[in-house]
């Protein structure tokens, strides 16, 4: 996968449209093409769970509970919760991703799974005011949103009073770094200013699921800080119950620095000084 800087977008709307084009272009490839190996589609269809073991433990029993998965992509995580008994709804702005999620629900015979095509900003309207016991999101979702206050307000309207929001995301600090080759070895150096409110705009070749994929795409990511996320949740009526950081990540940003730790997760290679790579957070709507 290689990236070069792209011009800044004219507006958030333009950025979101370019992001949508990028996700639409990758969805079929992730579900049934050269990215399916990364997504472990074969193993997952055969029964493997797509969720981290800590996610299952920290969210607790979902049996019989209504769960909304915001930014569900091709539905593999959503349907993993359905296999654990949740009544699931997945929402994503990529039509191709939603088509794949519906296809998987049919293959698995999960008839009551529902997949809705909408942006996060339009989620309340698309779901017609429905409220859920659980909102689940993350694993590369929040960086696509220009305004986490807006996101938290949308989530607050979609979860029942007393219900929970649970997410897993990349530790913000990781997004500031990139490895740099020097004569003395490869070192992480800061490349991105987390205090910059604008997006990081890049033209990329490949996908995290297949770095050799020939597609070229323009993306705009609004990398967030912990304070932005936590204050957005607090300001919109959530009480943070816990956060946990881990030295494992749900994708492999730098293959030369990472190695698999378990299915669907990677960690820094032995010899690297470990630092937090991901976190989970649970918040309750008061």
Ligand X SMILES: C[S@@+](CC[C@H](N)C(=O)[O-])C[C@H]1O[C@@H](n2cnc3c(N)ncnc32)[C@H](O)[C@@H]1O
With binding defined as CB under 6 A, does residue 78 bind ligand X? Answer: no
Kindly tell me the number of DSSP H helices and DSSP E strands found in the chain: 8, 14
Closest CA to 264 of 276, 243, 278: 278
Nearer to ligand X, 66 or 264 (CB): 264
Answer for the pair 94, 20: CB distance below 8 angstroms, yes or no: yes
Interface pick for ligand X out of 55, 77, 223, 248 (rule CB under 6 A):
77
Phi-psi region of 41 (alpha: psi -120 to 50; beta: other; left: phi over 0): alpha
Contact residues for 83 (Cβ-Cβ < 8 A; gap 6+): 49, 108, 110
Q: Could you tell me which stretch among 6-14, 80-88, 89-97, 272-280 binds ligand X (CB under 6 A)?
A: 89-97
Residues between 174 and 233 that touch ligand X (CB under 6 A)? none
Nearer to ligand X, 140 or 276 (CB): 140
The tokens describing 129, both together, are: 């005011």
Interface pick for ligand X out of 36, 55, 76, 279 (rule CB under 6 A):
76
CB of 94 to ligand X, least distance (A): 4
Q: Could you tell me which stretch among 92-100, 188-196, 259-267, 270-278 binds ligand X (CB under 6 A)?
A: 92-100
CB of 97 to ligand X, least distance (A): 5
The tokens describing 148, both together, are: 């986490």
CA distances from 272 to 67, 219, 244 (A): 38, 29, 21
Interface pick for ligand X out of 66, 80, 89, 94 (rule CB under 6 A):
94
Answer for the pair 215, 14: CB distance below 8 angstroms, yes or no: no
The tally of CA atoms less than 13 A away on the side-chain side of residue 233 is 24
Interface pick for ligand X out of 65, 73, 217, 285 (rule CB under 6 A):
73
Site string for ligand X, 96-135 (x = CB under 6 A): -x---------------------xx---------------
The tokens describing 279, both together, are: 């976190």
Interface pick for ligand X out of 144, 258, 266, 279 (rule CB under 6 A):
144
With binding defined as CB under 6 A, does residue 141 bind ligand X? Answer: yes
CB of 29 to ligand X, least distance (A): 12
Site string for ligand X, 7-26 (x = CB under 6 A): ---------x--x---x---
CA dihedral (157, 161, 166, 169) positive or negative = positive
CB of 14 to ligand X, least distance (A): 13
Answer for the pair 28, 96: CB distance below 8 angstroms, yes or no: yes
CB of 72 to ligand X, least distance (A): 6
CB of 135 to ligand X, least distance (A): 13
Cα distance between the two ends of the chain: 43
CA geometry: angle 82, 84, 87, nearest 5 deg: 35
Residues that bind ligand X (CB under 6 A): 16, 19, 23, 71, 73-74, 76-77, 92-94, 97, 119-120, 139-141, 144-145
């Amino acid at each position: 996968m290689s990236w070069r800087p792209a011009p800044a977008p004219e507006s958030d709307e333009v950025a979101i449209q370019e992001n949508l084009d990028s996700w639409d272009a990758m969805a079929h490839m992730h579900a049934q093409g050269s990215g399916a190996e990364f997504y472990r589609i074969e193993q997952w269809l055969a029964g493997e769970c797509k969720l981290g073991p800590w996610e299952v433990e920290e969210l607790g029993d979902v049996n019989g509970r209504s769960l909304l998965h915001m930014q569900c992509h091709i539905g593999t995580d959503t349907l993993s919760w359905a296999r654990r008994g949740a009544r699931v709804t997945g929402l994503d702005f990529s039509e191709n991703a939603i088509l794949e999620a519906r296809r998987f629900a049919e293959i698995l015979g999960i008839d009551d799974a529902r997949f809705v095509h909408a942006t996060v900003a339009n989620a309340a309207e698309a779901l017609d005011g429905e409220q859920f016991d659980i909102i689940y999101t993350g694993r590369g979702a929040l960086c696509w949103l220009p305004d986490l206050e807006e996101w938290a307000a949308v989530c607050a309207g979609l979860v029942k009073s007393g219900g929970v929001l649970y997410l897993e995301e990349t530790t913000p600090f990781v997004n500031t770094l990139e490895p740099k080759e020097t004569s003395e070895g490869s070192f992480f150096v800061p490349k991105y200013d987390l205090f910059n409110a604008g997006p990081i705009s890049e033209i990329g070749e490949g996908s995290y699921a297949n770095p050799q994929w020939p597609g070229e795409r323009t993306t705009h990511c609004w990398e967030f800080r912990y304070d932005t996320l936590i204050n957005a949740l607090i300001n919109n009526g959530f009480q943070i119950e816990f956060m946990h950081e881990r030295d494992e990540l749900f994708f492999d940003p730098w293959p030369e620095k990472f190695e698999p730790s378990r299915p669907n997760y990677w960690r820094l290679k032995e010899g690297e000084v470990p630092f937090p790579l991901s976190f989970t957070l649970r918040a309750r709507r008061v």
